[in-house]
Amino acid sequence: GAVVSQHPSRVICKSGTSVKIECRSLDFQATTMFWYRQFPKQSLMLMATSNEGSKATYEQGVEKDKFLINHASLTLSTLTVTSAHPEDSSFYICSARVAGAFETQYFGPGTRLLVL
C-alpha cells in the first residue's frame, strides 16, 4: 500500500515555542492531505483538510492562526503549532488521499507532541 511518513515522531518543546510537523507521501502524489489530533483514549478528530496549492480548510473550533498548514507540493504538507501550550500536547496524525475512484486514505505513523 501507499506509504506516508511523518517527522518528527516525537517532539518535546517549551511553552510558547512553535513546532513544525512534516507529512510526506513517499510513493504517490497526494492532492489532499488531512491533519488529525488524538488525545489519550479518544478517537481521531479531524483538524483540517489540506489541498495542494490552496489554503487549508479547518474544522469548526480549530484555530487556523494557531495551527498553520502548508501544502506546497503533491508530496509534502506541514503543520505548525504556533505558540504551543501544554493543552496542545497530543498525538498528531496526517493522512494522504490517493486520487481516484475510491479515495482511500493512507495514514502516517503520527507525531507525539509534548509541551512543557
Partner 1 sequence: DAKTTQPPSMDCAEGRAANLPCNHSTISGNEYVYWYRQIHSQGPQYIIHGLKNNETNEMASLIITEDRKSSTLILPHATLRDTAVYYCIVGTNAGKSTFGDGTTLTVKP
Q: Which three three-digit cell numbers place residue 19?
A: 513546532
Distance of CA 100 to the CA centre of its chain: 22
Smallest separation, CB 24 to partner 1 (Å): 13
Strand, helix or coil at 100? coil
Q: Which part of the chain contacts partner 1 (CB under 8 A), choosing from 14-22, 61-69, 70-78, 87-95?
A: 87-95
Phi/psi-derived region of residue 21, left when phi > 0, alpha when psi is between -120 and 50, beta in every other case: beta
CB of 7 to partner 1, least distance (A): 13
Determine, following the binding rule CB under 8 A, whether residue 32 of this chain makes contact with partner 1.
Answer: yes
- 41 burial (CB, 10 Å; 0-12 / 13-18 / 19+) is exposed
Reference 72, options 3, 22, 8, 11; nearest CA is 22
Q: Which residue in 19, 24, 34, 67 binds partner 1 (CB under 8 A)?
A: 34
Smaller CB separation from partner 1, 18 or 104? 104
The answer to whether residue 69 forms part of the interface with partner 1 (CB under 8 A) is: no
Applying CB under 8 A, the residues found at the interface with partner 1 are: 1, 4, 6, 32, 34, 36, 43-46, 49, 91, 93, 95, 97, 102-110, 112
